[in-house]
């Protein structure tokens, strides 16, 4: 297989510069719409391609790989997360899977930090008060939020994104706490002045803000269950720019509504979009999955996709190959 003759099928519209470069390098079928392909169209497109440039909205399960035939050899995912791809099924069919790790770490951390500031300081509530004409002038007791400096930030998953958040949070005077399956490099831990908690339950009970930054896997589905959310102090806030499935969203909404949690900032949701209760709560900031939505990040992601395709087509191991059974590096 060579790059000149390789057929690449793209499943979503990509930045123009990425599409132009991909079309110049490979025989590329683009997708003109922002909307995802139907299941049938996705399978049909994959059947006629050597490489599928997939995105988060494409469900590539075992039945998909059974249906596409033997031509497809590479799924070059546009994104770091691969929980929508059955890696074991891809391996069984001889299909290599790649992703785009580390590219979005800084942008995702910016958005997480924005939510860490916005929710306790009630920024969106303040904007809405102005829009709705409820602002009648400054008052000593109106629209009081919570100070961020001096609070304890608990990071679940101190990988690339988590570390970038920790660096920002320290500049705002937060102390860093984290839970991983094992401690991080001691030099990084020392630089961040971070405290490791082997027990997630214990960390949740002792921090003021929780930031979710681990990948979604079967082991992390509802990692923050109702029981665990109830361990958080009533004054605590939850921020999630990782994957919605990690949090029991219904339980989160119930606890915020009842005053058992102070609020939340969410960019991702368990079922694609937020449930109705979350939409109605004033102390919840909701974003439309835009943590990585910068021009720079999306172009870099596209370049990583192209590099993985080019290396694969030239007979080399793609640099971002995802191995079945191993954690995805964010």
pLDDT tens digit string along 26-49? Answer: 999 999 888 899 999 999 999 999
- Whether residue 165 is found in the same domain as residue 253: yes
| pTM score | 0.90
Q: What is the C-alpha separation between 92 and 241, in angstroms, rounded? A: 32
Query: Hey, CA dihedral for 29, 34, 35, 36, is it positive or negative?
Result: positive
pLDDT value of position 225: 98
Same structural domain, 99 and 109: no
Q: Which two tokens stand for residue 213?
A: 């930054």
- List, for residues 264-292, the tens digit of each pLDDT value: 999 999 988 898 999 999 999 999 999 99
Residue 266 and residue 122 in one domain: yes
Residue 164 lies in a domain: yes
- Mark whether 214 and 270 lie in a shared domain: yes
| Mean per-residue pLDDT over the chain, rounded | 95
3-state secondary structure of 7: strand
| Structural domain that includes position 163 | 105-286
Q: With respect to residue 320, please indicate whether it lies within any of the assigned structural domains.
A: no
CATH of the domain at 50: 3.40.50.720
Residues 23 and 170 in one domain: no
In a domain, 96, yes or no: yes
The tokens 């943590």 sit on which residue?
291
Residue of 208, 243, 206 lying closest to 224 (CA atoms): 243
Do 97 and 155 have their domain in common? Answer: no
Same domain, 246 and 128: yes
Burial of 237 per CB tally in 10 Å (0-12, 13-18, 19+):
buried
pLDDT value at residue 325: 56
188 and 198 housed in the same domain: yes
For residue 175, list its beta bridge partners. Answer: 152
Residues 142 and 9 in one domain: no
Domain membership of residue 330 (yes or no) is no
The pLDDT of residue 326: 52
Tokens at 222, concatenated: 């509802």
Phi and psi angles of residue 176, each rounded to the nearest 5 degrees, phi first: -105, 130
Query: Does 97 share its domain with 115?
Result: no
Instruction: Check pLDDT > 70 for residue 327.
Output: no
Q: Are both 45 and 115 inside the same structural domain?
A: no
Does residue 18 fall inside a structural domain? yes
Q: Are 212 and 162 in contact (CB under 8 A)?
A: no
Number of separate domains in the chain: 2
pLDDT(77) > 70: yes
Residue 6: is its pLDDT beyond 50?
A: yes
Tell me which of 9-13, 38-42, 217-221 is least confident: 217-221
16's enclosing H/E stretch is helix 16-25
Q: Taking 50 as the threshold, does the pLDDT of residue 330 lie above it?
A: no
As a whole-number percent, the residues of the chain with pLDDT over 90 amount to 90
Identify whether residues 252 and 185 lie together within a single domain: yes
């Amino acid at each position: 297989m060579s790059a000149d003759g390789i057929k690449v099928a793209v499943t979503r519209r990509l930045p123009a510069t990425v599409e132009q470069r991909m079309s110049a390098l490979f025989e590329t079928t683009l997708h003109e719409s922002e909307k995802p392909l139907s299941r049938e169209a996705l399978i049909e497109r994959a059947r006629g391609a050597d490489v599928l440039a997939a995105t988060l909205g494409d469900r590539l399960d075992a039945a998909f790989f059974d249906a596409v035939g033997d031509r497809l050899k590479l799924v070059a995912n546009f994104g770091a997360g691969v929980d929508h791809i059955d890696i074991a099924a891809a391996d069984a069919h001889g299909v290599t899977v790649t992703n785009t790790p580390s590219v979005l770490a800084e942008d995702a951390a910016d958005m997480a930090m924005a939510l860490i500031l916005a929710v306790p300081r009630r920024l969106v509530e303040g904007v809405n008060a102005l829009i709705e004409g409820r602002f009648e002038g400054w008052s000593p007791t109106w629209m009081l939020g919570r100070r961020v400096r001096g609070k304890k930030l608990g990071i679940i998953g101190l990988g690339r994104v988590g570390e970038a958040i920790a660096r920002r949070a320290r500049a705002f005077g937060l102390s860093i706490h984290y839970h991983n399956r094992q401690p991080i490099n001691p030099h990084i831990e020392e630089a961040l002045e971070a405290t490791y908690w082997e027990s997630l339950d214990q960390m949740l009970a002792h921090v003021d803000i929780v930031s979710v930054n681990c990948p979604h896997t079967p082991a992390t589905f509802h990692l923050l269950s109702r029981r665990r959310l109830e361990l958080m102090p009533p004054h605590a806030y939850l921020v999630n720019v990782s994957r919605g499935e990690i949090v029991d969203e219904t339980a989160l909404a119930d606890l915020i509504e009842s005053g058992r949690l102070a609020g939340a900032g969410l960019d991702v949701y368990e079922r694609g979009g937020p449930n109705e209760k979350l939409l109605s709560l004033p102390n919840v900031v909701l974003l439309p999955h835009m943590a990585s939505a910068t021009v720079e990040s999306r172009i870099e992601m596209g370049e990583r996709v192209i590099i993985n395709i080019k290396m694969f087509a030239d007979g080399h191991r793609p640099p971002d190959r995802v191995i079945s059974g191993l954690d995805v590096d964010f």
